[in-house]
Amino acid sequence: MTTTALADDLRAKIIANPDVLLEDHALMRALVGANDDAKGGNIIDLRAIAMERLEARFDRLEDTHRNVIAAAYDNLAGTNQVHRAILRMMDAATFASFLTDLAGDVADTLRVDAIRLVLEVNDPDHQNDLGPVVASVPAGFVDDYITLGRNMPARQVTLRAFHNVGASLYGDRASLIKSEGCLKLDLGKDRLPALLVMGSEDPQQFSKTQGTTLLVFFTGVLERVLRRWLG
């Protein structure tokens, strides 16, 4: 093989895969040295190219690092919130104090602006004395509310934007609520389902793109607490 053929072959390989050249530190040092000695108007500044490549790689690494730290912090903060809310629910000595805590300390801990416990009953016209936190609704209401009347399964946890159309579970605060979390509650065998709705004035508080693992856990604990009180 002649020198010219070898040079042509190397040239073709470099053109086909320039990253190999840019990522080889020894070759880059030799080329940068030659570039300093023979820099002219037609010479490409390989040092600048290498620096741009390194800066871009560093920026990507830094962004990834920040995103990982932020995600870990948000996950830890969310876990702590849910755990504190659960402990507060379990502290109640009576059902009345449980409902007071649910609309007060629990809602504040979860950073929601409104909270309502919805119980399906066979006779929703019958008035209960459970206070403003509890709403009595006819059978079938929970699934219809979660699915918005569509023919689809009602998920245990639904996070979504809230649009105040007609009657609302949030009463006078309905016009302020921008997003909501809907937790479907299984109260046990031979019992109608229930629903916990949490409304927020922040449109980003609840979104269908968010994870629901922590709220699924919260729902499971709330179901057990309610079964104890309503049993």
- In tens, the pLDDT along 25-48 reads 677 767 666 655 555 555 556 666
**169 CB neighbour count, 10 Å cutoff:** 21
User: Looking at residue 3, what is its pLDDT?
Assistant: 47
Residues 87 and 192 placed together within one structural domain of the fold: yes
Percent above pLDDT 70 for the chain: 78
Token pair recorded at residue 187 = 């109260």
Name the residue among 137, 161, 158 with its Cα closest to residue 146: 158
180 within some domain: yes
Q: Which residues contact 152 (CB under 8 A, 6 or more apart)?
A: none
Q: What number of CA atoms fall less than 13 Å from residue 3's CA on the CB side?
A: 0
Instruction: Please answer whether residues 118 and 154 qualify as being in contact, where contact means their C-beta atoms are separated by less than 8 angstroms.
Output: no
Question: Residue 32 has what pLDDT?
Answer: 65
With residues binned 3-state (H G I as helix, E B as strand, rest as coil), the percentages for the chain, rounded to 5, are 55, 15, 30
Do 28 and 97 fall within a single domain? no
pLDDT at residue 144 in the model: 93
Q: Where are the beta strands (DSSP E) in the chain?
A: 114-121, 134-138, 157-161, 179-185, 194-200
* End-to-end alpha carbon distance in the chain: 91
Mean pLDDT of 69-79: 66
Does residue 5 have a pLDDT over 50?
Answer: yes
Residue 67 within any structural domain of the chain:
no
Answer yes or no: do 86 and 32 share one domain. Answer: no
Q: How many separate domains does the chain show?
A: 2
The secondary element (H helix, E strand) that includes residue 103 is none
Q: Is residue 69 part of a domain?
A: no
- In this predicted structure, the answer to whether residue 115 has a pLDDT above a threshold of 90 is yes
Is the residue at 66 inside a domain? no
Are 142 and 195 contacting, i.e. CB atoms less than 8 angstroms apart? yes
How is residue 86 written in tokens? Answer: 């659960």
Decide if 70 is inside a domain: no
- Phi/psi at 184 (5° precision): -80, 130
Residue 213 vs residue 126, higher pLDDT: 213
Same domain for 42 and 142, yes or no, is no
Residue 149 region by backbone torsions, left for phi larger than 0, else alpha for psi between -120 and 50, else beta: left
Tens of pLDDT, residues 147-162: 988 889 999 999 999 9
Q: Which two tokens stand for residue 36?
A: 């300093």
Domain hosting 194: range is 81-230
Is 127 found in the same domain as 28? no
pLDDT of 77 strictly over 90: no
Mean pLDDT of the chain: 82
pLDDT in tens, 182-217: 999 999 888 999 999 999 999 999 998 888 889 999
d(CA 213, CA 11): 55
Query: If you average pLDDT over residues 63-79, what whole number do you get?
Result: 68
